[in-house]
């Protein structure tokens, strides 16, 4: 684990901590980010744009033990606990030149899946993991210049590193970055574990008392820099509407808050090379895209009229995603010609509402209540518009994927949706989609009506598709911004 080569003396050592990371294990969007950003930063280093020795650490989840049964153990150590030290082990593997550390111990072994349904076990797992990753690098004499944590699952590592006498001497030069992917999820289930693992509660007037009992607020309180996954979300979490009770604390640290838009794996999501769609195409060969729409309509036994606007919803069916607004808007526009396909799973009442829409409009609506990644690709590649009326959306990837595949988004102007979709009435030649302000079905209905009107102008529509397909959503741009934050923090340290 220790690297004493001359080059290592000039590199910034970064430990990137997360609960999941593709290709090892992925449950949600965090897995995409943690699977892409460290590799993009490593590539910057390889291209001599930055000197970064970045390494990833995640728990040794049960699914990974089945996938990697014979990994090299690099360290054995203990984690402090009120009931006595808890043994822990760290294992190592390397994929495409990136080093991954996997941490194990009883609190990890007791859980099933990446996120256990037993909330108390889940809370203990991630507090144990947060402290164990610090013990691991100390044990192996690889103290990072930057500890980069993600969400509540690793935020306690930042808090412990900066406040626990057990760690402060070893990490006195280490700076911390905390990325907030979804502020409302703060780790309330970890409160008992904070005490159990000797993490003293903070006492500050900067945030509510309950914030001193949850990992994410503690991480926000102590982190040297805070990043949200889009510039607009960075501003939104400083308001009562989106701040979840922490807006005053976040405003207090305003100078230490940045918004960096998540990137998109542009090799994975590429209509030119995507073998899961009937016809590959580029912005230069958009006419080939009609083959995908034709195949999609046939797959769902919908009217094979290529001139009819085809809407899609590809989403978790949750209240946050504004699914109810989308269903209401479609009903409001029932007297207009259109067809719609819905893909996703989620809250039972919303699943039921999607099925009821299909039942009420059997000639034009299909509801596929399931998770189906291959189908989602065919939908992006064949549909005309995607509905994304989220009540809040820290970043969002579906709108980026859709635009890359020539499918125009209709979305609420919030978070990353506002940052990635261009809807400027004064410069329509640059637009890539349609935005609306308030989380209300009436406003969404008006936005959909604007989209339907634009759809009738084929030249304008074609231009918007090309605009969207040519947007730069690559991880390189995001990685350069993160590298800039690392560099700034490292200079502060010297």
In this predicted structure, the answer to whether residue 356 has a pLDDT above a threshold of 60 is yes
Dihedral (CA of 122, 128, 129, 131) sign: positive
Q: Is 403 helix (H, G, I), strand (E, B) or coil?
A: helix
Tell me the mean pLDDT in the region 158-165: 94
The torsion angles phi and psi of 411, rounded to 5 degrees, stand at: -145, 160
Q: What are the boundaries of each domain within the chain?
A: 6-263+475-493, 283-469
pLDDT of residue 171: 95
Question: Residues 38, 44: contact at Cβ < 8 Å?
Answer: no
Mean pLDDT of 320-332: 97
> What is the distance between the alpha carbons of residues 416 and 427, in angstroms, rounded to a whole number?
21
Residues 173-201 have a mean pLDDT of 95
CB contact at 8 A, 303 and 339 = yes
Residue 309, by phi and psi: left (phi above 0), alpha (psi -120 to 50) or beta?
beta
**How far, in Å, CA of 492 to CA of 224, rounded?**
10
Of 39-48, 166-175, 430-439, 470-479, the poorest mean pLDDT is in 39-48
pLDDT band at 201 (very low <50, low <70, confident <90, very high): confident
Alpha helices in 223-345, H assignment, sequence order: 231-236, 247-252, 289-299, 323-332
Band (pLDDT 50/70/90 cuts) for residue 3 is very low
Q: Element (H or E) spanning 68, and its range?
A: none
> Tens digit of pLDDT for each residue in 431-451?
999 999 999 999 999 999 999
User: With contact defined as beta carbons under 8 Å apart, do 416 and 230 qualify?
Assistant: yes
Q: How many angstroms separate the CA atoms of 267 and 306, rounded?
A: 29
Summarize pLDDT for 243-285 with one digit per residue, the tens.
Answer: 999 999 999 999 999 999 999 999 999 999 999 999 999 999 9
SS3 79: strand
Mean pLDDT of 323-352: 97
pLDDT tens for residues 283-317?
A: 999 999 999 999 999 999 999 999 999 999 999 99
Residue 71 has pLDDT above 80, yes or no: yes
Fold of the CATH domain 6-263+475-493: Rossmann fold (3.40.50)
Residues pairing with 349 in the sheet? none
Which pLDDT does position 149 carry in this prediction? 98
> Does 283-469 match 6-263+475-493 at the fold level?
yes
**Which residues, at least 6 apart from 200, have a Cβ–Cβ distance to it below 8 Å?**
163, 164
Could you count the other beta carbons within 10 Å of the beta carbon of residue 269?
18
Least confident of 6-10, 25-29, 72-76, 235-239: 6-10
pLDDT score, position 29: 85
For the chain, report the end-to-end CA distance as a whole number of angstroms: 24
Q: Give residue 426's pLDDT band: very low, low, confident or very high (50, 70, 90).
A: confident
Please indicate whether residue 7 or residue 35 has the higher confidence score (pLDDT).
35
What is each CA distance from 54 to 31, 144, 147, 170, 173, in whole angstroms?
Answer: 17, 9, 10, 19, 17
CA distances from 327 to 51, 321, 453 (A): 49, 12, 20
pLDDT single digits (tens) 378-407: 999 999 999 999 999 999 999 999 999 999
The SS3 of residue 413 is coil
pLDDT, residue 5, reads 35
The whole-number pLDDT of residue 9 equals 43
Is the pLDDT at 140 greater than 90, yes or no?
Answer: yes
Residue 425's pLDDT band (cuts 50, 70, 90): confident
pLDDT at 4: 35
SS3 148: strand
Residue with tokens 């990353």: 416
Which option is the CATH number for 283-469: 3.40.50.10420, 3.20.20.150, 3.40.50.11540, 3.40.50.2000? Answer: 3.40.50.2000
Alpha-carbon span 152 to 219, nearest angstrom: 8
How sure is the predictor about 1, in pLDDT bands with cuts at 50, 70 and 90? very low
Residue 259: name the closest of 50, 417, 481, 19 by CA.
481
* pTM for the full predicted model: 0.92
Mean of the per-residue pLDDT values for the chain? Answer: 94
Percent of the chain with pLDDT over 70: 97
Q: Which pLDDT value is given to residue 442?
A: 96
């Amino acid at each position: 684990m220790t690297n004493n080569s001359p080059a290592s003396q000039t590199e910034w050592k970064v430990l990137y901590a997360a609960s999941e990371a593709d290709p090892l294990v992925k449950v949600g969007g965090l897995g995409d980010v943690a699977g892409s950003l460290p590799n993009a930063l490593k590539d910057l280093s390889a291209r001599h744009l930055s000197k970064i020795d970045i390494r990833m650490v995640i728990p040794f989840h049960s699914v990974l033990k089945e996938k990697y049964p014979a990994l090299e153990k690099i360290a054995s150590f203990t984690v402090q606990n009120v009931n006595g030290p808890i043994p822990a082990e760290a294992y190592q593997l390397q994929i495409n030149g990136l080093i991954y550390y996997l941490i194990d111990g009883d609190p990890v072994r007791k859980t099933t899946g990446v996120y256990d349904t037993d909330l108390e076990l889940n809370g203990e797992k991630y507090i144990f993991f947060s402290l164990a990753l610090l013990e691991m690098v100390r044990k192996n004499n690889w103290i990072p210049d930057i500890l980069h944590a993600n969400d509540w699952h690793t935020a306690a590592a930042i808090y412990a590193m900066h406040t626990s006498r057990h760690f402060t001497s070893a990490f006195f030069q280490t700076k911390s970055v905390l990325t907030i992917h979804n502020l409302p999820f703060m780790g309330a289930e970890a409160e008992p574990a904070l005490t159990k693992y000797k993490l003293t509660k903070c006492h500050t007037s900067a945030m509510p008392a309950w914030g001193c009992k949850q990992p994410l607020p503690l991480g926000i309180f102590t982190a040297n820099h805070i990043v949200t996954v889009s510039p607009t979300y960075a501003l939104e979490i400083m308001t009562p509407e989106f701040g979840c009770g922490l807006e005053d604390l976040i405003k207090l640290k305003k100078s230490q808050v940045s918004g960096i838009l998540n990137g998109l794996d542009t090799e994975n999501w590429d209509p030119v090379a995507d073998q899961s769609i009937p016809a590959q195409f580029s912005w230069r060969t958009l006419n080939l895209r009609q083959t995908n729409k034709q195949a999609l309509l046939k797959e769902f036994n919908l009217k094979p009229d290529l001139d009819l606007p085809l809407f899609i919803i590809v989403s978790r069916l949750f209240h946050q995603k504004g699914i109810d607004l989308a269903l209401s808007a479609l009903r409001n526009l029932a007297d207009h010609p259109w067809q719609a396909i819905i893909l996703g799973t989620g809250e039972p009442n919303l699943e039921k509402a999607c099925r009821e829409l299909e039942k009420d409009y059997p000639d034009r609506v299909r509801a596929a209540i399931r998770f189906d990644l291959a189908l989602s690709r065919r939908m992006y590649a064949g549909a005309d518009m995607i509905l994304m009326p989220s009540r809040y959306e820290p970043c969002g990837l579906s709108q980026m994927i859709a635009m890359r595949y020539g499918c125009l988004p209709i979305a609420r102007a919030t978070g990353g949706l506002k940052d990635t979709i261009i809807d400027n009435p004064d410069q329509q030649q640059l637009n890539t989609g349609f935005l609306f302000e308030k989380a209300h079905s009436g406003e969404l209905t008006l936005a959909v009506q604007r989209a339907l009107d634009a759809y009738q102008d084929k030249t304008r529509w074609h231009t918007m598709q090309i605009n969207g397909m040519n947007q730069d959503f690559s991880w390189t741009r995001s990685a350069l911004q993160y590298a800039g934050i690392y560099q700034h923090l490292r200079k502060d340290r010297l």
